[in-house]
Amino acid sequence: MQLRSVLLLTSLAAFASARPQPEAEVPPGLEARATCNKWDGAFCIDGFGGRTPSSGSGVTYKGNLGNPYGSNIIRVDSSIAAQYKYTVKFVGSSRMAGNYKIVIWNKIGPDGGVNGFFTPNKAIEFSLAPNQEIFVAFDQDTNGGWGAALGNSLPLTDWGTYASNWGEFDFGSNINGGWSGFDVSMIVAQNAGKAIQGMRICDITSGARGVCSTITTGAKRVENAYTVAQTGVGGIGGNLGPGKVRLEAIIEFAD
């Protein structure tokens, strides 16, 4: 099954020509407790807000945004991360020069537009130190992305789009029959003339390293990931069948 890229890889230019309307500040995601007290079948959902209905198709597809907005994406303690259905372990590489800011967003913004990746829209943000590991859980039918940059904020385009490398995701997509997908993309950063950070995302669902999407620092190596040359190409990255997903995202990855 080939999933198309979950964000705007075929139409970013259309949004770059129009400045978005100002958005209200978005409350951060809720952090789950160390003990799970709320379950949905076999998986913990403690800390998530309510689920919002999906609608639309293609670029404008709106999945679960959380109620309140952004509560579909939460930090979780490492001791219970395995109990959630969809998780990403963020790993700070030893080559990071200091703490990195990580910002995670839904594709759809709080006003219902395809603008979740414009500042100040976000679900959660946190700092990641070299050699640190932080777990984030995502609720069913959540699609969006994240960016990472050294310091206290992400670089931006002239129109306010987050302009670091993107890690893109689609977890348990209703429109794709419960499939999930992920990729690393440097399209926005490349178009904006920004520095290219290293990022590697791998599927480790089975306990062994599976399919990966990789861009090393400075784009010295690009494998199964998006550059400007691949804009509009579908199926790049990882495409995973229905079921639990365990991803590992190494920030400032280099060989």
218 neighbors 196 (Cβ within 8 angstroms): yes
169 neighbors 216 (Cβ within 8 angstroms): no
H-type helices in 153-252, by residue range?
A: 187-191
How is 56-86 classified by DSSP, letter by letter?
--GGG-B---TBTTTTTEEEE-TTTGGGSSE
Percent of the chain's residues with pLDDT above 90: 81
What is the Cα Rg of the chain in Å? Answer: 16
Domains and their CATH numbers in the chain: 12-251 (2.60.110)
Tens of pLDDT along 196-240?
999 999 999 866 668 999 999 999 999 999 999 999 898 899 999
Write down the pLDDT at residue 82: 95
pTM: 0.88
Write down the pLDDT at residue 151: 95
Q: Using CA atoms, how far apart are residues 44 and 30, in angstroms rounded to an integer?
A: 14
Q: Using CA atoms, how far apart are residues 186 and 191, in angstroms rounded to an integer?
A: 8
Write down the pLDDT at residue 225: 97
User: Could you say which residues of the chain have pLDDT below 70?
Assistant: 1-34, 206-209
β-bridge mates for residue 118, sequence order? 161
Write down the pLDDT at residue 232: 87
β-bridge mates for residue 222, sequence order? 215
Write down the pLDDT at residue 207: 65
Read off the DSSP letter of residue 219: G
